C-alpha cells in the first residue's frame, strides 16, 4: 500500500464493509415487504435488519467514506494532513463506536430504526456508539481545518483550492448539524437510556433530530458535488465551466441546508404553521444551488465532448467516456438526482406532503437521492481512488463497468415502484405490505416489482464489493496514478468573497438561531409531561 494514503484507505475499507453488509439486509427487507417468503423471515429480523441497514448505510458507510475522501483531498490539494495521529485515534473511536452500536442492534436490543425516535428506547451503547462515530467525524473535521490553516500560512491571498473549498463548507455544515444531534443524544437520550432521568419529551427530541436530519443529507451530498465539480470534468476530458459559481454553490449549501428541518415535521403537532411555512421557504431556496450545479456540471461535460471533436447540438454526449466506471457512476447519479430533486420539491409542498408523508414514496425518494445520487457517486469514486491510493490496478474492470448501470437499472424499478405505492397509501417501513391482510391488493404488484429491483441492486452491490476486495488483495501492483482535479476555464485569480468562510459561518449560525430559537422556546414554555421508555415488542 502506498503509505501516504493508508489512513484514507482504512476509512474507505470500513465504509465498503458496512455497505456490503447493509446491502444484503436491504434485499431481505424488500422481499419481506412484498410478502415473499424466505427461510428466516420474521418481524424481529425485519425491523432489526432495517435498523442495521439504516445505521450502516446512512451513518457508517457515508461518514467513513466522506472522512476517507476528505483525507485524500487534504493530502492531494493541500499537500499535508496535520495531526495524522489524531486521525488514527478518530478512526479507532469511530470503528469502536460503529461496532458497539452494531452489536446492540444485532442482539436485538436496539430495534429503534436509524431515526431512533424516543420514547422507543434502545440500549445505551447504541446511542453511545453512534455518538463515538460523530465524535470521530468532529476530530476529522478539526484535522482538515488545521491542515487548511497550515496551507493558508504559506499561501496568503490565494484562492482556496476548489476541492478544499467544498470540503470546508461540508465540515462547517456538519458542525452546525451535529450540534442539534449532540443536544438530543448527549443531553436527552443517553441520560434517559441509562435511567438517570425517567422521562423524555419526544417532540423536543424530534426537533433536535431534524435540525440534524436534513443537513445530514447535504453532508452526504456535498462530497458528491465536490467529485462532480472537481473530478468528473477531468475524467471526461474537459474543463470546469465556472470556478466562481462552484464556490457560490458550496456557500449557499452551507447557509441554507440547516434552517429547513420542519419540512420533515409538517404532520407534527407542537410547531406552529407559521414556522413550518418559514422552513418551507428556506427548503425551496436550497433547491437553487442544485439547479446551478446542473448547469455548471453539464456545461463542463459539453466542453469535454467538444474538446473531443463533437460539433452538433447533442452529439457531445456520445463522446463522453460512458465505459469509464467513475464517469458512468456519476453521470447516472446525476440523472437520479434530477428525479430525486423534483421528488424533494413535492415533499416540501405541504399540501402534497400530506398525501405521501411517511409512505413508501419517501423510501422511493431517498433511495434515488442518498441511494443513487450519493451512493453511486461514492461507488464510482472508489474505482477512481483505489488505484491511486493503493498503487494497484483495478481488478475485474468489466464488472466495474457494468456495475453502475446495473445499480441504476435496479434502482429505477425499486424506486419507481415505491413512489407509486406510496401515492396509493402504502406506509413505509412495514414488515408486510399486506398490512395484516387488509390491504394487499392495492400495491402488492408494486412491492413485488420493488423486490425484483432490490435483488438487482444487491447483485450490483455484490459486484462492487467483489471489485474492491479483489483490487485490494490481488490487484496488479502499478505506479499509483496521480490524483488530478479539473482545471477551471477561468480560474479565480485571488481569494474572493466566496472564500470568506468566517463571514459565511457567522451568517449560517445566525440563520440556524433564527430558524430554531423561537419555536423551541415556544415549545419549551408549554406545560410538558414527558414519556418513559418503551421497548419495541
Q: Which is nearer to other proteins, 62 or 280 (CB)?
A: 280
For 325, list phi and psi in degrees, rounded to 5. Answer: -65, -35
d(CA 270, CA 277): 14
Residue 392 annotated as catalytic: no
The number of residues in the chain equals 537
How far apart are CB 209 and other proteins at their closest, in Å? 11
Residue 429 annotated as catalytic: yes
Q: Which is nearer to other proteins, 11 or 428 (CB)?
A: 428
Residue 444 annotated as catalytic: no
Catalytic residue among 75, 247, 365, 395: 365
Residue 107 annotated as catalytic: no
Please state the separation of Cα 529 from the chain's center in Å: 35
How far apart are CB 130 and other proteins at their closest, in Å? 17
Catalytic residue among 428, 458, 464, 483: 428
d(CA 138, CA 171): 8
Residue 500 annotated as catalytic: no
* Of 256, 259, 249, nearest in space to 225 by CA: 249
How far apart are CB 228 and other proteins at their closest, in Å? 16
**Per-residue b or e along 395-413, where b marks 16 or more CB atoms closer than 10 Å to that residue's CB:** bbeebbbbbbebbbebbbb
Three cell numbers written together for 446: 408494486
Q: Which is nearer to other proteins, 203 or 462 (CB)?
A: 203
d(CA 339, CA 54): 22
Please state the separation of Cα 17 from the chain's center in Å: 16
Q: Which is nearer to other proteins, 3 or 269 (CB)?
A: 269
Beta-carbon contacts of residue 62 (< 8 Å; ≥ 6 apart) = 15, 219, 220, 370, 374, 378
Q: Which is nearer to other proteins, 316 or 384 (CB)?
A: 316
Q: Which is nearer to other proteins, 111 or 417 (CB)?
A: 111
Residue 428 annotated as catalytic: yes
CA angle 331, 371, 101 (to 5 degrees): 140
39 burial via Cβ count (<10 Å: 0-12, 13-18, 19+): exposed
How far apart are CB 434 and other proteins at their closest, in Å? 8
* Of 17, 57, 6, 26, nearest in space to 465 by CA: 17
How far apart are CB 349 and other proteins at their closest, in Å? 6
CB 172 within 8 A of CB 508: yes
Catalytic residue among 64, 212, 366, 408: 366
Catalytic residue among 214, 263, 279, 419: 214
How far apart are CB 115 and other proteins at their closest, in Å? 8
Inter-axis angle of helices 243-256 and 501-524, to 10 degrees? Answer: 20
How far apart are CB 193 and other proteins at their closest, in Å? 14
d(CA 530, CA 470): 52
Residue 214 annotated as catalytic: yes
Three cell numbers written together for 331: 453521470
Q: Which is nearer to other proteins, 75 or 264 (CB)?
A: 264
- Catalytic residues, which ones? 214, 218, 365-367, 428-429
Amino acid at each position: 500500500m502506498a503509505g501516504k494514503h493508508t489512513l484514507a484507505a482504512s476509512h474507505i475499507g470500513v465504509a465498503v464493509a458496512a455497505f456490503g453488509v447493509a446491502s444484503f439486509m436491504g434485499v431481505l427487507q424488500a422481499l419481506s415487504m412484498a410478502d415473499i417468503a424466505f427461510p428466516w423471515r420474521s418481524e424481529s429480523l425485519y425491523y432489526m435488519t432495517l435498523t442495521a441497514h439504516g445505521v450502516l448505510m446512512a451513518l457508517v458507510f457515508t461518514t467513513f467514506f466522506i472522512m476517507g475522501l476528505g483525507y485524500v483531498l487534504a493530502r492531494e490539494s493541500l499537500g499535508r494532513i496535520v495531526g495524522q495521529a489524531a486521525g488514527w485515534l478518530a478512526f479507532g473511536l469511530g470503528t469502536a463506536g460503529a461496532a458497539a452500536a452494531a452489536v446492540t442492534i444485532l442482539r436485538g436490543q436496539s430495534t429503534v430504526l436509524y431515526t431512533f425516535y424516543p420514547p422507543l428506547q434502545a440500549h445505551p451503547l447504541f446511542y453511545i456508539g453512534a455518538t463515538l462515530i460523530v465524535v470521530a467525524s468532529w476530530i476529522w473535521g478539526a484535522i482538515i481545518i488545521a491542515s487548511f490553516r497550515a496551507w493558508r500560512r504559506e499561501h496568503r491571498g490565494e484562492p482556496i483550492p476548489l476541492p478544499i473549498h467544498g470540503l470546508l463548507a461540508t465540515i462547517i455544515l456538519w458542525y452546525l448539524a451535529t450540534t442539534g444531534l449532540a443536544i438530543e443524544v448527549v443531553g436527552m437520550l443517553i441520560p434517559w437510556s441509562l435511567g438517570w432521568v425517567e422521562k423524555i419529551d419526544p417532540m423536543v427530541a424530534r426537533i433536535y433530530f431534524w435540525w440534524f436530519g436534513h443537513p445530514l443529507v447535504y453532508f452526504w451530498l456535498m462530497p458528491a458535488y465536490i467529485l462532480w465539480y472537481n473530478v468528473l470534468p477531468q475524467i471526461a476530458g474537459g474543463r470546469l465551466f465556472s470556478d466562481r459559481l462552484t464556490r457560490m454553490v458550496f456557500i449557499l449549501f452551507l447557509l441554507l441546508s440547516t434552517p429547513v428541518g420542519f419540512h420533515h415535521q409538517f404532520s407534527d403537532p407542537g410547531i406552529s404553521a407559521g414556522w413550518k411555512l418559514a422552513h418551507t421557504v428556506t427548503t425551496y431556496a436550497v433547491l437553487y444551488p442544485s439547479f446551478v450545479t446542473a448547469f455548471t456540471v453539464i456545461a463542463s461535460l459539453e466542453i469535454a465532448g467538444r474538446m473531443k471533436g463533437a460539433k452538433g447540438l447533442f452529439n457531445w454526449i456520445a463522446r463522453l467516456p460512458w465505459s469509464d466506471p467513475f464517469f458512468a457512476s456519476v453521470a447516472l447519479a446525476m440523472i437520479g438526482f434530477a428525479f430525486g430533486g423534483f421528488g424533494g420539491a413535492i415533499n416540501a409542498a405541504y399540501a402534497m406532503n400530506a398525501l405521501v408523508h411517511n409512505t413508501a414514496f419517501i423510501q422511493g425518494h431517498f433511495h434515488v437521492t442518498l441511494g443513487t445520487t450519493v451512493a453511486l457517486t461514492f461507488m464510482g469514486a472508489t474505482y477512481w481512488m483505489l488505484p491511486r491510493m493503493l498503487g494497484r490496478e483495478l481488478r475485474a474492470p468489466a464488472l466495474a463497468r457494468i456495475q453502475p448501470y446495473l445499480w441504476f437499472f435496479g434502482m429505477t424499478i425499486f424506486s419507481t415502484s415505491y413512489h407509486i405505492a406510496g401515492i396509493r397509501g402504502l406506509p413505509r417501513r412495514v414488515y408486510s405490505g399486506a398490512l395484516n391482510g387488509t390491504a394487499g391488493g392495492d400495491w402488492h404488484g408494486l412491492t413485488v416489482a420493488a423486490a425484483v429491483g432490490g435483488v438487482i441492486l444487491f447483485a450490483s452491490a455484490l459486484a462492487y464489493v467483489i471489485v474492491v476486495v479483489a483490487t485490494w488483495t490481488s490487484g496488479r501492483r502499478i505506479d499509483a496514478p496521480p490524483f488530478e482535479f479539473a482545471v477551471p476555464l477561468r480560474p479565480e485569480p485571488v481569494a474572493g468573497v466566496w472564500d470568506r468562510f468566517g463571514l459565511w459561518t457567522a451568517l449560517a449560525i445566525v440563520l440556524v438561531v433564527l430558524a430554531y430559537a423561537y419555536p423551541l422556546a415556544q415549545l419549551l414554555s408549554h406545560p410538558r409531561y414527558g414519556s418513559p421508555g418503551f421497548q419495541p415488542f
